[in-house]
C-alpha cells in the first residue's frame, strides 16, 4: 500500500544574529539594521515512519504570517501520498487561493514542499541533488556575510582573508552607499587585497536610481567583477535590461522576487545575465525547478540567494556552472556543517537535504503547531 502523510509539525523559529547587519537599504534609511531571521520549519512524518524536514524564512517582517498561513493549510496533507508533490503543492495553493500565488502565501508552502522533497529523497536513499539529477558533486561558493556596509573596511578585508583561507572561492561586498566614493574606496581596496583574478562581486541591494546605476556600473567595469548585483529596484525590469545590454560585467538580480511568475518576466525582458532565485522565497523546490528549467534554456547563469543548505543541492542540478552563496548564519539550526574545499561547496552525500534539526533550533522555537496523529 502507498505510504501516507500521518503527522506534520510546524515551528516558528527566531534566530538572533551575533551583530546587527546593514546593507545599502539601511544606509538610505529604508530599513532598520537586521538583528534576527525568522524561520518556518515543517517536519512531516509518514505512516511508514519516514521523516522530511523543510524550511522557509523571512528577514524583518513576515515570519509570523508565514507560520499562520502554513497552520491553516497543513491539514490538507494528512492521509495524502507524500510522493505526489506536484499535486500536493497545487492543493495547498488552492487552499490559500484567496491570498494569491506569490509572497507570504507560497513562502508558507515552501517549508512543506522542501520537506516533501527531503522525504522523497530519503525514501530513495539519495541526496536531493541526485534524486533530481546532478551535473556536479560540488559547486563554486562565495562569501557575502563578511562584506556588509556596517563593517569597517579593515574588518571586511580581514573577513575576506578568513573566507579565502577557509577555501571559499569568491568574495562579495556590499555597495550602494549614499556616498559613491565610499563604494569605490572599498572596492578598490578589496580588489587590491584579493589580486586581479580572485572572484569578486558587488551587491547594491537595489539602492541606485537609473542614472546612478549606469554611472556606477561603468565605473566598476575595470574591476573584473563576476557580477554587479541588484543595481536597481528589484521590480525595475526595464532598467535592469538597459544595464544588461550595455554593461560588459554581468548583471545579477532576482533574490527579492516572490514567485516564479515574477522571475519569468526577468527572463522575458532579458533583464539579467545571472538569475538569483531564492527557493523558499519563490515557493519551494517544485517552483524553483520549474524556473531553473526555463532559465537554463535562456542561457542564464545561476546564483541562488541565501539558504545554502537547500541551494547547494539545487545548484548542483543546473546545467551551467553556478555559484552558491555561503552564509553560515543557519549553522546553529542544524547538527551538520557544509563542507568547503578548493573554492567549492561539497554537495552532501547523505540522503535528502542531509540536515537534521539541532537542540539550538528547538531552544529558539517561539511557537509550534501539530496536525495528524504522532
Ligand atoms: Mg543580494
Alpha helices in 125-227 (DSSP H): 128-132, 153-165, 180-194, 210-220
Do 76 and 218 belong to one domain? no
| Grid cell locating 108 | 508558507
CA-CA distances (angstroms) from residue 345 to 102, 315, 332, 370?
30, 10, 18, 35
Q: Among 174, 177, 240, 313, which one carries the catalytic annotation? A: 174
Q: Is residue 339 part of a domain?
A: yes
Is 351 within a domain? no
Distance 202 CA to ligand 1 centre (A): 9
State the distance from the centre of ligand 1 to the C-alpha of 360, rounded, in angstroms. Answer: 27
Q: Residues 199, 63: one domain?
A: no
Give the cell for residue 200. 569578486
CA distance 177 to 204: 8
Q: How far is the CA of 196 from the centre of ligand 1 (A)?
A: 23
Alpha helices in 250-343 (DSSP H): 260-268, 285-297, 308-316
Q: Are strands 5-21 and 365-372 parallel, antiparallel or unpaired?
A: antiparallel
How much is the pLDDT for 41? 98
User: For residue 354, is it within any domain?
Assistant: no
Residues 41 and 57 placed together within one structural domain of the fold? yes
* Same domain, residue pair 94 and 137: no
CA distance 49 to 115: 14
> Of 25, 38, 177, 305, which is the active-site residue?
305
Q: Is the same domain home to 177 and 280?
A: yes
Predicted pLDDT at 315? 98
Cα-to-centroid distance, 372 and ligand 1 (Å): 39
Instruction: Find where cell 543557519 sits.
Output: 330
Bridge partners for 53 per DSSP: 43
Report the CATH number at residue 15. Answer: 3.30.390.10
331: domain CATH number is: 3.20.20.120
CB atoms within 10 A of CB 188: 11
> What are the backbone angles phi and psi of residue 114, rounded to the nearest 5°?
-60, -40
CA distance 123 to 51: 9
Q: How far apart are CA 93 and CA 214, in angstroms?
A: 39
Is 263 among the residues known to form the active site?
no
C-alpha cell at 164: 579565502
Q: How far is the CA of 66 from the centre of ligand 1 (A)?
A: 22
Decide if 83 is inside a domain. yes
Beta bridge partners of 55: 41
Predicted confidence at residue 260, as pLDDT, reads 98
Q: Is residue 332 part of a domain?
A: yes
Ligand 1 centre from 203 Cα, in Å?
A: 6
CA distance 244 to 299: 14
- Assess whether 162 and 266 both reside in one domain: yes
CB atoms within 10 A of CB 97: 10
Q: Are residues 215 and 194 in the same domain?
A: yes
**What is the pLDDT, as a whole number, of residue 1?**
81
CB 168 within 8 A of CB 143: yes
Q: Is the CB of residue 292 less than 8 Å from the CB of residue 303?
A: no
Secondary structure element (H or E) that encloses residue 72, with its range: helix 63-73
Q: Is 174 a catalytic residue?
A: yes
147 CA → ligand 1 middle, Å: 11
Distance between CA atoms of residues 22 and 26, nearest Å = 6
Instruction: Determine the Cα–Cα distance for residues 333 and 203; give it in Å rounded to an integer.
Output: 26
Segments in the chain below pLDDT 50: none
In a domain, 238, yes or no: yes
136 & 116 share domain = no
Number of H helices, E strands in the chain: 13, 14
Compute the distance from residue 254 Cα to the ligand 1 centre, in Å.
9
State how many domains the chain has.
2
Helices 285-297 & 104-124 angle (0-180, nearest 10): 90
Is residue 268 in a domain?
yes
Q: Can you state the angle between helices 63-73 and 104-124, rounded to 10 degrees?
A: 60
Clarify whether residues 190 and 322 are in a common domain: yes
Taking a C-beta distance cutoff of 8 angstroms, is the pair 301, 322 a contact? yes
Say if residue 75 is in the same domain as residue 138: no
CA of 60 to the centre of ligand 1 (A): 15
Q: Distance, CA 168 to ligand 1 centroid (Å)?
A: 18
What are the residues whose beta carbons fall under 8 Å from the beta carbon of 358, sequence distance 6 or more? 332, 333, 334, 335
Backbone angles phi, psi at 26, to 5 degrees: -80, -40
- Same domain assignment for residues 188 and 209: yes
Ligand 1 center–CA 80 separation, angstroms = 37
Asked if residue 292 lies in contact with residue 314, where contact means CB atoms within 8 angstroms, the answer is: yes
Residues 6 or more apart from 176 whose CB is under 8 A from it? 23, 24, 25, 27, 28, 149, 183, 203, 204, 205, 206, 207, 208
Is residue 352 one of the residues assigned to a domain?
Answer: no
Q: Which domain holds residue 79?
A: 5-125+359-372
Q: Are 32 and 64 part of one and the same domain?
A: yes
Amino acid at each position: 500500500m502507498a505510504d501516507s502523510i500521518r503527522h506534520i509539525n510546524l515551528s516558528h523559529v527566531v534566530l538572533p544574529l551575533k551583530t546587527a547587519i546593514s546593507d545599502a537599504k539601511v544606509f538610505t534609511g529604508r530599513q532598520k539594521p537586521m538583528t534576527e531571521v525568522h524561520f518556518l520549519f515543517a517536519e512531516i512524518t509518514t505512516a511508514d515512519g519516514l521523516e522530511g524536514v523543510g524550511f522557509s524564512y523571512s528577514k524583518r517582517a513576515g515570519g509570523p504570517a508565514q507560520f499562520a498561513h502554513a497552520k491553516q493549510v497543513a491539514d490538507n496533507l494528512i492521509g495524502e501520498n507524500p510522493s505526489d508533490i506536484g499535486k500536493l503543492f497545487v492543493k495547498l495553493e488552492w487552499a490559500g487561493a484567496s491570498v494569491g500565488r506569490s509572497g507570504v502565501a507560497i513562502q508558507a508552502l515552501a517549508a512543506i514542499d522542501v520537506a516533501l522533497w527531503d522525504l522523497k529523497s530519503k525514501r530513495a536513499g539519495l541526496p536531493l541533488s541526485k534524486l533530481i539529477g546532478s551535473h556536479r558533486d560540488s559547486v563554486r561558493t562565495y562569501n557575502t556575510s563578511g562584506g556588509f556596509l556596517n563593517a569597517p573596511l579593515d574588518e571586511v578585508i580581514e573577513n575576506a582573508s578568513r573566507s579565502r583561507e577557509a577555501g571559499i572561492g569568491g568574495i562579495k561586498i556590499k555597495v550602494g552607499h549614499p556616498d559613491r566614493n565610499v563604494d569605490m574606496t572599498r572596492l578598490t581596496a578589496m580588489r587590491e587585497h584579493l589580486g586581479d583574478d580572485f572572484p569578486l562581486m558587488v551587491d547594491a541591494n537595489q539602492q541606485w536610481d537609473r542614472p546612478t546605476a549606469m554611472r556606477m556600473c561603468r565605473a566598476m567595469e575595470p574591476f573584473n567583477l563576476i557580477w554587479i548585483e541588484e543595481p536597481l529596484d528589484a521590480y525595475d525590469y526595464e532598467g535592469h535590461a538597459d544595464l544588461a545590454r550595455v554593461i560588459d560585467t554581468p548583471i545579477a538580480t532576482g533574490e527579492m522576487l516572490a514567485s516564479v511568475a515574477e522571475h519569468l518576466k526577468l527572463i522575458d525582458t532579458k533583464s539579467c545575465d545571472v538569475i538569483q532565485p531564492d527557493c523558499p522565497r519563490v515557493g519551494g523546490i517544485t517552483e524553483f525547478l520549474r524556473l531553473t528549467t526555463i532559465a537554463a534554456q535562456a542561457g542564464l547563469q545561476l546564483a541562488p540567494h541565501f539558504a545554502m543548505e537547500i541551494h547547494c543541492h539545487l545548484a548542483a542540478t543546473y546545467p551551467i556552472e553556478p555559484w552558491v552563496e555561503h552564509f553560515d548564519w543557519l549553522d546553529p539550526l542544524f547538527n551538520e556543517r557544509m563542507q568547503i574545499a578548493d573554492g567549492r561547496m561539497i554537495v552532501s552525500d547523505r540522503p535528502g537535504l542531509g540536515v537534521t534539526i539541532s537542540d539550538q533550533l528547538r531552544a529558539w522555537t517561539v511557537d509550534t503547531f501539530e496536525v495528524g496523529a504522532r
